Amino acid sequence: MNTLYFGAQGTGFYCLQSCANHSCAPSAATEGLASGATALLALKDLAPGEEVTLSYIGELEAEGGRPLGLKERQAMLRDWGFVCRCSRCLSEAAAKSSSAKKLGARAGVKVGRR
């Protein structure tokens, strides 16, 4: 099970949030309350039956305040034992692959798998 870290306030174990899957484009976030409870807050309108996801790595930014890139997020998630395949990661990977193919085509080099 997962725990949530609340900085200097400590760490808590929350059964409901521990069941949420990860996404780098989460549909929800947690907020620690003064009572010691935690709230699960929707970050967007959710359709009936839509999965509630949380970011296991939070809304971290790289140096300079830019959003974390695909490689940086994947490196942070290694400790969780999986490769993220959320919509954000798949979209960024596809865009990167497309850019590499375009650059290769300009240079006369084929880019791709054998």
pLDDT in tens, 79-105: 888 999 999 999 999 998 876 555 555
Rounded distance between C-alpha atoms, residue 93 and residue 70, angstroms: 7
From first to last of the 114 residues of the chain, give the pLDDT tens digit.
Answer: 455 555 555 666 667 777 889 999 999 998 878 887 788 899 999 999 999 999 988 776 777 778 888 999 999 998 888 999 999 999 999 998 876 555 555 555 555 544
Collect all residues with Cβ–Cβ distance below 8 Å to 50 and sequence separation of at least 6: 27
- Secondary structure of residue 32 in the 3-state scheme: strand
Mean pLDDT of the chain: 79
In the chain the domains, ranked by start, together with CATH numbers, are 3-107 (2.170.270.10)
Residue 78 CA to residue 26 CA, distance in Å, equals: 18
